[in-house]
Every structure is written in C-alpha cells, then in structure tokens.
Chains A and B, each alone.
Chain A
Amino acid sequence: MNDLALTVRQVTYENRSFWRNPASAFFTFVFPIMFMIIFNLIFGSSKYSPFGSNATVSQFYTPALMAFSIITACYTNIAMGVVFAREEGILKRMRGTPLPPWVYLFARIAVSVMVAVLLVVIIGVFGRVFYHVKLPGVRTLPALAVALVVGAATFCAIGLAMTSFVPNVDAAPAVVNATIFPLLFISDVFIPIQGHGVLTHIADVFPVKHLSNAIIATYNPHTVGTGFKGKDLAIMGAWGVAALIVALRRFRWEPREQS
C-alpha cells in the first residue's frame, strides 16, 4: 500500500473511532449548538446588536460560534485526544510499526477538520433556519472560507503544540480548558466586547480574537468590500507557524515514565 492509500485508510479508522466514542462526539456537537441557543435566549430580545442597526444578535452569534466550533473541534479535540493516545501508549505502539508517524497525526487532524467543517455548516444552517440570519453574500464568501481554513490549520497546530505542555491524561481537561475559556470570553466569541479596555489589549495578543474577527466580518452586513481581514489572518497565521515549530521541537510520542 502506498502512503496515500495508507493515509486515506487511517483517516477512515480514526473517523470510525471518533464517532464511536459517544461522549466525545456528543459534546463536540452539542456544545456549540447549546451556546447558540443559550446566547440567543439571553440576548436575542435585546435591542442592542453588536453590528449596530439592521442586524440581530444572532447575526453576530452565528459567525462567533463558528469560530468556537473550529476551536473546539481542532484545538480541544486534538490536544485532549493526542495526550490520551500518547499516555495510553497508542502513539508509542504506532511508532513501532512501519506506518510513517506523520500519517497517523495527519489522519487525526483530518478527522478534526472534517468535524469542524460539519459543525460550521450545522451552526450556519441553524442560524439561518431558526434565527433568520443573513448568509454572507458571494462577495464575502471567499473571505469566510479563507478564515475557516487558516483558523482550522492554526488551531490544529496549537492543539498539537499544547500536548507537549500537558503532563498526563488527568491534567488534560484542566489545562486545555483553562487556556481557552478565558480567551473565548474576551475575544468576541461568547460576548461582543465594547471599547478598548485592558481585556481587548490582552485578547489582541492571542489568536482566538483574530479568528472570530475574521469570520464575523464576513457576516457583518456593514462590511464593505470582500471582508478579508488581512491583519487578523496574518497574526493568526503567525501563531499557527509558531505552534507548528513548538510541536515539531517538543512533541513526545511516549508516555511519561511510570514510577
């Protein structure tokens, strides 16, 4: 079997593994939808819209939760799943077979990206059907696609890099959630942030806000032009490259020594 066929085959096995883990698959999908419903219930009736006039709150939350979907499917999934596979010895076992190690990691990433795509579509359809959110037009659609691709690549890389900072399985949920949730709150994902306070400056440093900004711009009815946010994409991309370098240098295949 050549490496391409091996890769395709590995993706099907990883995909099967993902869907057969009910808890993991369920929460990956339920979380973004749950937040969508909750935020719309809380803020849906308010007159205030982050986009100013002529737009509902849902017009903001649909793209914002697309950003969340990418983060949860790529960053959270990969960081937790790979730490688990490493500490269980699955990575070590794989490394003892002729399967090129990159094929295994690529397959995991591919499944995460497929899940992310599926989630983004679900959120988009959900917003359109239940909250009558206006879809991005042909004008901003390419910018949305680019933002999603750069975002998925970046957060997969950050997920891989993060595994090298998580010592064991027990620490994984704590470390992974503690690093991402504060950012989700200050980065225009869960709550649109007003003004330029200290939180905004902090959020500006990290990639979450740049992902949400790049996606949200394509849904903003007031966006003029193509909606490409070059600066956001560049900063996010820089994080992705940095994470990739960290992952390449620090990634471990073996569990921490027992006893």
Chain B
Amino acid sequence: MTAAIDVKGLRKSYGSLEAVRGVDLEIATGEVFALLGPNGAGKTTIVEILEGYRRRDAGTVSVLGFDPARRDRALKERIGIVLQSTGVEQFLTVAEVIEMYRGYYPAPRPLDEIIDVVGLNEKRDDRVKTLSGGQQRRLDVAIGLAGDPELLFLDEPTTGFDPGARRRMWDAVKNLVSLGKTIFLTTHYMDEAQELANRVAVISAGRIVAEGPPRSIAGRELSHTIVRFRLPPRAPALPRSLKSSAATGDGRVEIEAADPVKVLHELTGWALEKNIALAELEVARPSLEDVYLRLTGGEAEAAE
C-alpha cells in the first residue's frame, strides 16, 4: 500500500532562518499521525507545505501521490484542511456554510452526517456569528469534512479550548478515525496526541527528534517507573535497598524503579512494619510530556 504522505529531505528557510532542516515523514493510509512541537519549531511550515500553501526549498513531497506545490484541483478534491483559527462567512447559518463548501467537491459527504460527526445538530440553523469559540472550531472541522476527504489536516484543533470543548472535539476526531480517514494532526498538547494519535513525531528547531507510537516514543516504555510519596516528619530512614535510588526533598521522596513490583513490595512492607503513612503515594510512568520536554530541551516553555 502506498503512503498517504511521503516526505523526504524537506527543507524550508525564511531569509536566514532555517525553519525546516531536512525532515522525512511517512504516513500510512488510515493512520492518525500527530506532529508535536513547541511554537516556532516548524510545525505549521511543514503542514502548510503539505497543504500546498507554501513552497519548499528542497526535498520531495508526495501527498496522495501528488506534489502539493502544484496546487492541483484533483488533489484538493481529496483532502480536507482545517487551518488554525480561520474565519467563516459570519452571516450564513451552519448548514448553509457546510452546504456551500460541499458544492465545491465532486463527491461530498452528506450534510446531516457532517453535522452529526461534529455534534452541531442543535446549531444547524443558527448563524455562524452566534456560535461559541468551540462550536466555530467544530464548524471548521465540518468544513474540512465537506468533501469527504481521504486525508484530513488538523492544525491545532483545540488550542484555546476549555476542557469540555476539548473532549467534544476529541470525540469528533475519534468519529473520523472510525470512518477510516487518514489524519495529520499538529498540536502542542501531549494529552491530545496521546488520546488521538497512533504515531507521534516530535519536532524541535526544524528537525524530527523522535518518532513512534505515543506509548513507546523515545524509549518511554523502557524508562523506569517513578514511585512518589511523602514521609511524615521524623520518620525513620528508608531501608538501604530503596535509599540508593531515592531522591528526597522536604519530605517528598521519589524512587526510580526498574522493577516497580519489587520496590513497592519492599516499600509497603517497610511502611507497615514501622507503622508509617505514605502520604500521596503514586506510581507513574514518565508522561509523554516528560519525554517531550526532555526532547525539546524545555523549549516549549521558552517559546510561549
């Protein structure tokens, strides 16, 4: 099977700034792929090259077998683009806008299905300008779906959302996945990538620094588990076997455990024997966010 997107050696500079420095990507049909990275890492430049908005300086790019730089109508008929925060015709209703965009495509998706997928049924006859931010964003997705695309680009679909609105957007995206669409998602939310994507690539300063399923990216599945808890004041010292891998600070203890079962057994056994409460006990694997911050060198915060 051919890849939906195939990128090799992609480069793009703006003046003296090298925004994309040799990126390779391959996204299979039906895959949900997330491109993660801090602001300014080159995410939008890459997506907009794939969408045909920007021209590349070097490299080869194939989207559904087309070179997007040629802006072929035949390609645009098969892809859906959801840009970052774009306006819509304010004075048309939700149904009218979707209907208008449907007319541009040879085989559009039925109107009612689109409205259903994005959950705007109650708003279908309301004017666009009366929609909330989250609803407008779901309308953006609805417009992206108008042509029943094989491949959908979603550029930061939930930036600026409250948690409820994000949930609803995620549900809408999961609906799309069940329809067998290939989705290219960009985001700077780790939980979003984890929730939606089969595969994640982390981009930093114009280069892909890690790639893989969210569960195991950058050796995450091999990383040690962290056991955290708080010790009461004047608690006796930890047993020697635990102490060597523990880090402490004002009562908080973190143990890095290669074998968490053994460590927990020892720890809880010790605590019961000494009758010590282990406040706030938790066992955690390094989050995608920890991995991401390590990979991007804390750039995420610097760029905000």
Q: Which one of A6, A100, A254 lies within 8 Å of B103 (CB-CB)? A: A6
Residues of A within 8 A of B (CB): 1, 6, 9-10, 13, 16-17, 20-21, 85, 88-90, 92-93, 95-100, 254
5 nearest interchain CB pairs?
Answer: A88-B87, A89-B86, A20-B91, A96-B81, A98-B76
Judging by beta carbons under 8 Å apart, are B101 and A88 in contact? Answer: no
Judging by beta carbons under 8 Å apart, are A98 and B105 in contact? Answer: yes
CB of A169 to closest CB in B, whole Å? 10
Of B51, B77, B87, which is in contact with the most chain A CB atoms at under 10 Å from its CB? B87
Judging by beta carbons under 8 Å apart, are B147 and A93 in contact? Answer: no
Judging by beta carbons under 8 Å apart, are A90 and B87 in contact? Answer: yes
Judging by beta carbons under 8 Å apart, are B81 and A93 in contact? Answer: yes
List the A side residues contacting B77 at CB < 8 Å: 98
Given A89-B86, A93-B143, A96-B51, are A17 and B92 neighbors across the interface (CB < 8 Å)? yes
Of chain A, the residue at the smallest CB distance from B127 is: A20
Chain A contact residues: over half helix, strand or loop, or mixed?
helix
How far, in angstroms, from A97 to B106 measured CA to CA in the complex?
Answer: 11
- Chain A to chain B contacts (Cβ below 8 Å), 16 pairs: A9-B100, A10-B100, A13-B89, A16-B92, A17-B89, A88-B86, A89-B85, A89-B86, A90-B86, A92-B83, A92-B86, A93-B81, A96-B81, A96-B83, A98-B104, A98-B106
How far, in angstroms, from A96 to B90 measured CA to CA in the complex?
Answer: 19
Residues of B within 8 A of A (CB): 51-53, 73, 76-77, 81, 83, 85-92, 96, 100-101, 103-106, 127, 143, 147
How far, in angstroms, from A48 to B255 measured CA to CA in the complex?
Answer: 98
How far, in angstroms, from A139 to B267 measured CA to CA in the complex?
Answer: 106
List the B side residues contacting A6 at CB < 8 Å: 103-104
List the B side residues contacting A90 at CB < 8 Å: 86-89
How far, in angstroms, from A92 to B76 measured CA to CA in the complex?
Answer: 13
Judging by beta carbons under 8 Å apart, are B86 and A93 in contact? Answer: yes
How far, in angstroms, from A5 to B128 measured CA to CA in the complex?
Answer: 25
Judging by beta carbons under 8 Å apart, are B73 and A100 in contact? Answer: yes
Given A93-B143, A95-B53, A98-B105, are A21 and B91 neighbors across the interface (CB < 8 Å)? yes
Of chain A, the residue at the smallest CB distance from B74 is: A98
CB of B292 to closest CB in A, whole Å? 22
How far, in angstroms, from A93 to B143 measured CA to CA in the complex?
Answer: 9
How far, in angstroms, from A1 to B147 measured CA to CA in the complex?
Answer: 13
